[in-house]
Amino acid sequence: MLQSSMRRRPVTTLSGRLIIYFLIVMLVPFLLFVSYTIINYNRGIERAMTAQAVSALESDAASISSVIEEYRHKAYTLSSSPIITRVLEENDPEKTARNISSVYETLYVTMAGDTYKASASIVSSTGDIRISTHNFPEAYDLRTHTNDWDSSNIITIAKRKSGRERASIISIEDHRYDAGRQVLLSILRRTFAADGTLTGYIIIDVMSDAVIPEINDSNLFSEVVLVDNETFSAISLTHPQRYGSFSEFPFLRNDSSDIYRAPLEGTTLELVAISLNPLLRENFRTWTLVIAVSLVVGILISIILSLIFSRSISTRMRRIIESMKRFERGDFSIKLEKTGIREFDELSITFNIMVHRIERLLERTREEEAKSAEAERKALESQMNPHFLFNTLNTIKALAKMHGETEIYQTTIRLGKLLRSSIDNRSESATLQESLDLVECYLLIQKLRFGEKLRYSINCREDLLDRETPKLILQPIVENAVTHGLSEKLGDWNIDITIDEKDGKLCMSVSDNGIGFHSIPDMADLEHSQHTGLYNVYRRLELKYGDAFSFSISSEPGMGAAITIIIPMEDK
Amino acid sequence: MKKLKVVLVEDEEIVLRELKETIDWEGLGLEVVGTAKDGIEGEQMIRSLSPDIVVTDIKLPGKNGLEMIESAAVTNGIILSGYTDFEYTKRAIRLGVFDYLEKPVDDEELEKSLKMLAIRIIEDEKDVDRISDGCHITLMEDVQNHWIKVAIDYMNKNYMNQISLSDIARETRLSESHLSTLFKAETGINFLQYLNAIRLNAALNLLSQSTMNVSEIARSTGFPTPGYFTKIFRRFFGKTPTEYRGQ
């Protein structure tokens, strides 16, 4: 039962505890923040981003579609223009030269000032007629390349397709730069003579500038790519210098949720975009890394701080402990300096005070020991074998009695009683009867010496005689009265001893008609005066009763003195 | 009236003479039948004279006063001693010493003590005659006072051990002097006599119903020594335990 209640507490160091507290303070808000962010990111942001990306891409696709549609329509307009079809059908440069201004007019009107966004070129099937809103692109000069060597050339593509197709052909194969502008896609329309023979081609090259400003307005995508699913070629709309087959764009092959697709109506083209999510995720990863790093740094800092702090405590503590150990070995010169930490300073001050007190106490004890050793030495020197003394007194008594010396006989017996009571340590108290007998013994012996000159009276209420009082109280006071009060006085000597009860307390008074005290001494004077007997009585009463007694001296010089002691009444 | 016999043992010639010559033995109804100056001589004297009272010093050549009292089975002794030694007084009480006076001896006190002892011895003898018919002791057991009942109960249970008046005083929470007076008043005999009677009754049983020898019986009934047993037995029944068993 006892053991289970005594749970053992693990012993830890200050620094260890501090580190734990620091970590709790640091990690708890961090973990809350991280868990909140993760939950939020997964649920909301990603879904919203996806929806936003889908609609953004759709609007991008719509704008590209409308651009393509616009220029397809322009290509159609040009192909159905009578002047252009005639020029191509005639295929005669001289005749054309005559009509050239109206051809150009038709071209410019149709392109309607969009010439920085697109260029329109017409070329006859032989290549003899070559007219363009801009410089005629060399790639379309059929004289120089009748072969299929340039697979990215839209004419080459058109030739590969069935010859009778009137519909527009759209290609994103060609990425020529023309006057610093990049061609994004080309739209080709073939013109035919009335008999159905191919007369030439109308080509509109749409520059990337026509489309790119519209694309990825919302900046949701890291890349938007225009893809031709028929030719498996692609061009990046966000980074137009990137183009080529699908191998140029590895992300087209995978089917990640971060890839968004929007087909362009009426074409084989498709808009493919890669969202910023991976980037965000990348960001998130970097961010996690930053947090992890700061966490590590934080832990390091907290460890260092804890070590510094606990060290600042433990060095002071060690100083105190060392001082205490030195003190334990008896070095009392120890004094703890101020440390600059209030709690430690309080400890230091208390310790210093304690050291000071103990030092004083030890000094006092040593002094007392020295005194008592001295007293003991004196006692031993003056000691006489009490058995020898008592046996001798007994022999004297026997002799006196046999020779009829009554006074010697009685004095011997009284002396024996007095001596015995002063060395008897069996009991600390005596009845008043015993104490008064002793006083009488003493006074009778003194009377023997001084005869009728010494007179005494003892008054005690009969019922108080069996009360216990501390022994050897009255006799030393009487002895003091005789030796200091009366012995120097001429004339009669009187001593009156009165014992009475007063307010439930025992009142003992000894008065004499001796020379009295010059001045009433207080107890401190008494200790060093010749009245050591009185002081000893006072001291013994103080030890026994504390404050519960009174000891008073009254005296008139030349007229006598009275000593009154009031002590609590002991039970019978 | 016959005088009680006293033996004095004291090694100091002057003190011995003073005791013998200045105490009013006649007036106390006593007679000094012998004096001795050492423990061995004293013991022999006590054995041969069987005094009623022995007054002895403690410090004696050969054998000290207490040892002498014990081995001679003295029942009424007064010690005169220069020593105030607690061990001595304790042992004296155990041996049933009547008084212990400190030197220098106040002869008035000694005479007072002798007088009281003499009275007690005479009373005891009367009591013995009254309660003993020579082969059995009749004890008053039906007492009225509760505390004396407790005391008698205690004595009946513990007589085989060393018990003294102070043990019973502690048991009954009465002062020794009060208990002593009350006991005498209630039972008609004093405490020590009563205790001896209980022990003797037990011893009578053992004597007639067991094969234990006298020493074993003395030990198991609480007598300090076989000597005391025999002495007190004789006082009550006028014969020794061995003689009693022989009958």
In angstroms, what CA-CA distances link A59 with A64, A65, A217, A218, B11? Answer: 9, 10, 10, 11, 145
In whole angstroms, what is the distance from residue B59 CA to residue B42 CA? 13
Q: Are the C-beta atoms of A335 and A354 separated by less than 8 Å?
A: no
Neighbours of A320 (CB within 10 A): 16
pLDDT score at B56: 95
Contacting residues for A27 by C-beta, under 8 A, at least 6 apart: A295
Contact B22 A416 (CB under 8 A): no
In whole angstroms, what is the distance from residue A75 CA to residue A68 CA? 10
In whole angstroms, what is the distance from residue B92 CA to residue B89 CA? 5
Cβ neighbours of B104 in A, within 8 Å: 390, 393-394, 396-397, 412-413, 415-416
Cβ neighbours of B106 in A, within 8 Å: 413, 417
Q: List the single residue in A390, A396, A423 with the smallest CB-CB distance to B82.
A: A390
Q: Spell out the per-residue pLDDT of chain A, length 572, in tens.
A: 344 444 556 677 777 788 888 888 878 888 888 788 777 766 677 777 788 888 888 888 888 888 888 888 888 888 888 888 888 888 888 887 888 888 888 888 888 767 778 888 888 877 788 888 888 887 787 777 655 556 667 777 777 776 566 778 888 877 777 777 888 888 888 888 877 788 888 888 888 887 887 787 777 787 888 888 877 888 888 887 788 877 777 777 776 767 888 888 778 888 888 877 666 667 777 877 888 888 888 888 888 888 888 888 888 888 888 888 888 887 777 787 777 778 888 888 888 888 888 888 888 888 888 888 877 777 666 666 778 888 899 999 999 999 999 989 999 999 998 888 877 767 778 889 999 999 999 999 999 888 889 999 999 988 899 888 988 889 999 999 998 888 888 888 999 999 999 888 999 999 999 888 888 887 777 777 778 888 888 888 888 888 889 999 998 888 889 999 999 987 65
Best of A388, A390, A420 to mutate (most B CBs within 10 Å, chain B): A390
Structure token pair of residue B32: 């000094």
Q: Are the C-beta atoms of A187 and A172 separated by less than 8 Å?
A: no
Look at B60 and A15; give whichever has higher pLDDT. Answer: B60
CA A106, A111, A114: angle at the middle one, nearest 5?
A: 145
Looking at domain A453-568, its CATH class is alpha beta
Contact A402 B18 (CB under 8 A): yes
Residues of A with CB under 8 A from a CB of B: 386-387, 390-391, 393-399, 401-402, 412-413, 415-417, 420, 423-424, 426
Neighbours of A507 (CB within 10 A): 16
Closest CA to B105 of A547, A543, A401, A196: A401
Q: List the single residue in B21, B59, B103 with the smallest CB-CB distance to A402.
A: B21
* Cα atoms found within 13 Å of the Cα of residue B162, Cβ hemisphere only: 8
In whole angstroms, what is the distance from residue B179 CA to residue A510 CA? 38
- The ranges assigned to domains in chain A are 80-212, 332-382, 453-568
pLDDT score at A165: 66
Strand (E) or helix (H) holding B23: none
Q: Determine the distance in angstroms separating the CA of A391 from the nearest CA of chain B, rounded to an integer.
A: 6
* Cα atoms found within 13 Å of the Cα of residue B47, Cβ hemisphere only: 11
Answer whether B111 touches A (CB < 8 Å): no
Contacting residues for A413 by C-beta, under 8 A, at least 6 apart: A397, B104, B105, B106
Q: Are the C-beta atoms of A120 and A107 separated by less than 8 Å?
A: yes
Contact A402 B22 (CB under 8 A): yes
Cβ neighbours of B82 in A, within 8 Å: 386-387, 390-391, 394
The two beta strands, B53-57 and B4-9, are parallel
Put residue A244 in one of left, alpha, beta given phi > 0 → left and psi -120 to 50 → alpha. Answer: left
What CATH number should be reported for the domain whose range is B4-128? 3.40.50.2300
What are the residues facing A187 on neighbouring strands?
Answer: A170, A204
Contacting residues for A259 by C-beta, under 8 A, at least 6 apart: A251, A252, A272, A273, A274, A275
Q: Are the C-beta atoms of B46 and B204 separated by less than 8 Å?
A: no
Cβ neighbours of B59 in A, within 8 Å: 387
CA A158, A164, A168: angle at the middle one, nearest 5?
A: 50
Question: In the predicted model, what is the mean pLDDT of residues B198-215?
Answer: 90
Closest CA to B196 of B227, B165, B233, B158: B233
pLDDT score at B46: 93
Architecture of domain B146-246 in CATH? Orthogonal Bundle (1.10)
Cβ neighbours of A413 in B, within 8 Å: 104-106
Whether pLDDT at B202 is above 70: yes
CATH code 3.30.70.360 for A80-212: no
Residue type, B85: D
Contact B22 A401 (CB under 8 A): yes
Q: List the single residue in A387, A417, A424 with the smallest CB-CB distance to B82.
A: A387
Cβ neighbours of B17 in A, within 8 Å: 398, 402
Q: Determine the distance in angstroms separating the CA of A392 from the nearest CA of chain B, rounded to an integer.
A: 8
Answer whether B15 touches A (CB < 8 Å): yes
Structure token pair of residue A234: 């692609």
In B21-50, the residues whose Cβ lies within 8 Å of chain A are 21-22
pLDDT score at A383: 65
In whole angstroms, what is the distance from residue A272 CA to residue A254 CA? 12
pLDDT score at A472: 86
Question: In the predicted model, what is the mean pLDDT of residues B151-179?
Answer: 87
> Which long-range contacts does B83-92 make (Cβ < 8 Å, 24+ apart)?
B83/A387, B83/B58, B83/B59, B84/A420, B84/A423, B84/A424, B84/A426, B86/A426, B88/B58, B91/B66, B92/B66
Contact B102 A416 (CB under 8 A): yes
Whether pLDDT at B178 is above 50: yes
In whole angstroms, what is the distance from residue A224 CA to residue A238 CA? 6
Cβ neighbours of A421 in B, within 8 Å: none
Neighbours of A275 (CB within 10 A): 24
CATH 1.10.10.60 placement within chain B: 146-246
In whole angstroms, what is the distance from residue A176 CA to residue A205 CA? 10
Quote the strand ranges of chain B, DSSP E. Answer: 4-9, 30-36, 53-57, 77-81, 99-102
Quote the strand ranges of A438-544, DSSP E. Answer: 454-460, 468-470, 493-502, 505-512
Closest CA to A412 of A426, A391, A431: A391
CA A510, A516, A521: angle at the middle one, nearest 5?
A: 90
pLDDT score at A2: 42
Question: In the predicted model, what is the mean pLDDT of residues B104-108?
Answer: 91
In whole angstroms, what is the distance from residue B52 CA to residue B98 CA? 12
In whole angstroms, what is the distance from residue A201 CA to residue A189 CA? 6
Structure token pair of residue A81: 């223009």
Q: Are the C-beta atoms of A480 and A446 separated by less than 8 Å?
A: no
CA A181, A185, A187: angle at the middle one, nearest 5?
A: 120
Q: Are the C-beta atoms of A532 and A511 separated by less than 8 Å?
A: no
In whole angstroms, what is the distance from residue A87 CA to residue A93 CA? 9
Question: In the predicted model, what is the mean pLDDT of residues B162-191?
Answer: 87
Most confident segment among A132-141, B20-29, B122-131: B20-29
pLDDT score at A5: 44
Question: Is the pTM value of this prediction over 0.80?
Answer: no
Structure token pair of residue A213: 């400003």
Give the phi and the psi of residue A556 in degrees, each rounded to 5: -130, 120
In angstroms, what CA-CA distances link A315 with A20, A234, A348, A354? Answer: 21, 73, 14, 22
Cβ neighbours of B86 in A, within 8 Å: 426
Task: Report how many Cβ contacts below 8 Å link chain A to chain B.
Answer: 57
Strand (E) or helix (H) holding A431: strand A429-431
Contact B105 A426 (CB under 8 A): no
Cβ neighbours of A406 in B, within 8 Å: none
pLDDT score at B1: 64
In whole angstroms, what is the distance from residue B230 CA to residue B239 CA? 9
Secondary structure (3-state) at B132? strand
**Is the CA virtual torsion B108, B109, B111, B116 positive or negative?**
positive
In whole angstroms, what is the distance from residue A369 CA to residue A1 CA? 49
pLDDT score at A1: 39
ipTM above 0.85, yes or no: no
Q: Are the C-beta atoms of A232 and A277 separated by less than 8 Å?
A: no
